[in-house]
């Protein structure tokens, strides 16, 4: 069997009695685009953060292309492009300054950084703001997602791990983003995204994992997981439904 792009094995994280990830195991095959879905607080960000070396697990392992993220972080992180939840970027820089800083920090050739920066900013439609000298701290939420994605792509990683990449991104930019991700996979890369938008996951991903209360409830190809219904039906079936009952919120709209 070929080495998976990403392999999470029994990743566990307990936040003072709150078991945010309870032995999360997930295999991301090479060349796949996997959607990680789950309710708020399910443990998606916790699991992905442990998978990419941003949050130390209590136990369990994460491997990128067979390389242990926590034992050999430098080698593993060279293969990874990460869009974390909530960016911790130097923000008093323009986008091109930030990408230059990021690229040089990764030991990239300055000429390559400059060429890729220009291309990424143009495709992500951040070039105009950049030319006007707008600082990242002044960016809108969607623009911040886009510059975060640019930092994840800059060094041409093999595996992309993107926490809610489409959140707050406008429809035209979302379309661009989808085509970037599809092209990345067609070129042999592998991707995991977390998302709350079931239709997006159904449209974009070939695999899906459903996580709730820190546990993986389903994992497989889209067809395997959703069966004969929609992904949303399967999600609600596994996670449980919450409706607003007749006697609740009666004070609203009075």
Ligand X SMILES: Nc1ncnc2c1ncn2[C@@H]1O[C@H](COP(=O)(O)OP(=O)(O)OP(=O)(O)O)[C@@H](O)[C@H]1O
* Interacting residue ranges for ligand X, rule: CB under 6 A: 15, 18, 20, 38, 40-46
Judged by CB, which is closer to ligand X: 19, or 114?
Answer: 19
Q: Compute the least distance from the CB of residue 172 to ligand X, in Å.
A: 25
Helices 95-105/110-123 angle, 10° precision: 140
Let me know: does 145 contact 151? Beta carbons within 8 Å: no
Q: What's the closest the beta carbon of residue 214 comes to ligand X, in angstroms?
A: 7
> Minimum distance from CB of 163 to ligand X (Å)?
7
Instruction: Return d(Cα 33, Cα 67) in angstroms, integer.
Output: 20
Min dist. Cβ of residue 43 to ligand X (A): 4
For residues 40 and 74, which CB has a smaller minimum distance to ligand X in the complex?
Answer: 40
DSSP letter at 188 equals: T
DSSP states along 53-103 = TSS--SEEEEEETTEETTTSHHHHHHTEEEE-SS-----SSBHHHHHHHHH
User: Rounded to whole angstroms, what are the CA distances from 151 to 7, 54, 154, 156?
Assistant: 23, 16, 5, 10
Structure tokens at 191: 């991707």
- Give me 26's structure tokens: 């997930």
Q: Give the shortest CB-41-to-ligand X separation in angstroms.
A: 4
Please, which residue, 31 or 39, has the CB nearer to ligand X?
Answer: 39
Between 36 and 121, name the residue whose CB sits nearer to ligand X. Answer: 36
C-beta separation of 16 from 184 below 8 A: no
Longest Cα–Cα distance of the chain, Å, equals 65
Tell me whether residue 130 or residue 219 sits nearer to ligand X (CB atom): 219
Of 15 and 66, which CB lies nearer to ligand X in the complex structure? 15
Q: How far is the CB of 86 from ligand X (least distance, A)?
A: 10
């Amino acid at each position: 069997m070929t080495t998976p792009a990403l392999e999470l094995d029994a990743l566990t994280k307990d936040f003072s009695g709150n078991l945010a990830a309870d032995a999360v195991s997930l295999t991301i095959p090479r060349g796949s685009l996997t959607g990680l879905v789950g309710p708020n607080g399910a443990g998606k960000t916790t699991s992905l953060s442990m998978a990419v070396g941003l949050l130390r697990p209590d136990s369990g392992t994460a491997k990128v292309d067979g390389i242990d993220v926590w034992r050999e972080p430098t080698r593993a992180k060279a293969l990874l492009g990460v869009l974390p939840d909530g960016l911790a970027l130097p923000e008093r820089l323009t986008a091109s300054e930030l990408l230059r800083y990021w690229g040089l920090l990764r030991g990239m050739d300055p000429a390559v950084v400059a060429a890729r920066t220009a291309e990424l900013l143009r495709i992500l439609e951040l070039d105009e703001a950049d030319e006007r000298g707008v600082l990242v701290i002044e960016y809108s939420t969607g623009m911040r997602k886009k510059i975060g994605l640019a930092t994840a792509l800059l060094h041409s990683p093999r595996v992309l791990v993107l926490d809610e990449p489409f959140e707050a991104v406008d429809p035209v930019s979302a379309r661009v983003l989808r085509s970037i991700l599809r092209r990345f996979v067609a070129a042999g890369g592998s991707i995991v995204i977390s998302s709350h938008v079931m239709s997006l996951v159904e449209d974009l991903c070939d695999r899906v994992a459903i996580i709730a209360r820190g546990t993986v409830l389903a994992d497989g190809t889209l067809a395997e997981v959703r069966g004969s219904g929609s992904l949303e039906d399967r999600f609600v079936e596994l996670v449980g439904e919450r409706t607003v009952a007749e006697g609740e919120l009666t004070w609203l709209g009075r």
